Structure 1
Amino acid sequence: MTPQHAYATVNLPLEQHRSALRAHCYRMLGSYSDAEDLVQETMIRAWSAQGSYDPSTGEVGLRRWLYRIATNACLDFLKSASRRVSSASSSFSEISWIQPMPDRLLDDETASKETIALGFLALIQMLPAQQRAVYLCREVLGWTAAETAETLEISVAAANSALQRARETVDRNAGTHPMPSEPSESERAVLAAFIDAHQRGDAAAAFALMREDIRVTMPPLPAVYVGRDSIRPLLVQAFEAGMGEWRLVPTMANRMPAAVSYLRAPGDTAFRLFKIDVLRVVDGTVAEITTFDGRGMTTAFDIPEVLP
């Protein structure tokens, strides 16, 4: 059998797991673009190592085999990237590589809201790479200690110890990045009002949507704004006549409501991609906005650079 024919025999079942592997790599790395690269690396490694896969293990065995390859590929990447968050940060300033994940690339089975939210991503980026892998295998994938140890080629005792330390770190810092609530009609209504206020240039309406203790961050920038009074100048500046006109498109990222913002500057004839705001909504108000540069996310979100 030639390599081309060999690939054809495994391509379909591998591709069926791409979404799950993307979510897993994204949790390991915190970056959409890096996750895409590592999923592709996983596919290459799987093709090269297909002789190690036991077809008698069925679909469950195939997925676990792929997760094992993906996990170790991510660990190899993290060794060279030297990424480690040394302490909790409310601004994502120590997680400059973090990127949003569009919901269109997630599936319900493998990417629940609590395991893909930006707050969860920030928390687990604090863990050393091996602890992070153990935590995800045990707490997200639901593997046993023995299965996790086998994947990482460590002892069961070492896997249990790593899990304990990881849980302690996550529990200790859980308040730094609160988890979002479940999706609701209220959440969708807040996003619609957020978009309407921006497109009308109504700073007062946008301000009224904000929770008293709202937090605004803009990774990779270290800035963090906490409280309505601290963001009032930002809103005023965004809606100044000299800034231009906004057009926003609703979307979803990390199982959270989001808005893609386009700006038509004075004298321009088109709306140009500017940013993506991911919202955390609590009790009908905007509790947190995480703002990302939209210009590197066109492929991920399937959005144009320019609107007429």
Structure 2
Amino acid sequence: MAILIGTLVLARRFGSSSFFHGFLVAVGVFLSLDIVVVHWIFRLHRVTAGPEANVIEPILVAFGVGFVIYGLRRERRSSVTPRRRERGRTGCRGRPAPRPRRTPAAGTRRKDATMTTNGPVQRLSTPRRIDRRAALGRLLALTLLVPPAVGVLTGCGHRDQPGMGDGGMPGWMMSGYQMMDAQMMADMPAIHDLLVRHDTIRRQVDDIEGGIRARTTSDPSIAQLIQTHVQQMKARIETGTPIRQMDPLFREIFEHHGAITMTVSQIPGGVEVTETSSNPQVALLIRQHAHHAVSEFVARGTDRAMRPTPLPAGYRD
């Protein structure tokens, strides 16, 4: 925010009024598009990791819209004033008013007649002034290209960093070269929000014959996310649609998805999940997933999700 204010002050002080108005519009468009598209629609990241982002981001969008409206209105007013002044200099038919004829002062010599035989003097050609509206439109068009360009460059430039996985997916997905399909795009928002708000989630896991029974609850605002995420993962298990394929435990679970029985019951504040298998080896995978994957995600959030989960002791495929 301090950088934004400082940049606006510099643009106002050292730039022309048209430049400042165009800069305001550019900043406003960028703020609005970035937050609405990247933060709210695709939910790739937030301004902060806490709930205060729900307050800060609408304020920034409001500032962005205000910058756009103010910049366009001020530029329109400043462009109307010169036209009115120019209109006042013209005659009644729109032609320039005739200049008063100057008479030479007494005693001055007349110019040599040979000076007038060369015809009228040609004016030097000068570049046409750029219209303010055209300049503002070009700057606005350039600004519209900035968010997608920044997103592409960021995805390419951060491919090897811890926060991003191959294919531009976040590192906590651990999906390797798995394509970002429609189902993945639908599942990512709930996973991301649950990892960010992991400290508000309560979880209890009990071992039962052939697997586990887990109760996961939270505040009402998070409970719906939990229920949505569990149903999405249940559908993946039933259809064998894998996720986190760079994680050895998840890879083995989806290799044996047909041997897993999963039931989900909604309870106040969240869900109760029973997951079992008649195969003792798959039961080991189920317990490892419940205790050392999901429960650790709840305890430590994104940092834990970016690390793989080892296979359970005694497991052999």
Does the TM-score normalized on the shorter chain lie above 0.5?
no
More strand by proportion, 1 or 2? 1
More helix by proportion, 1 or 2? 2
- In the superposition, the TM-score normalised over structure 1's length comes to 0.26
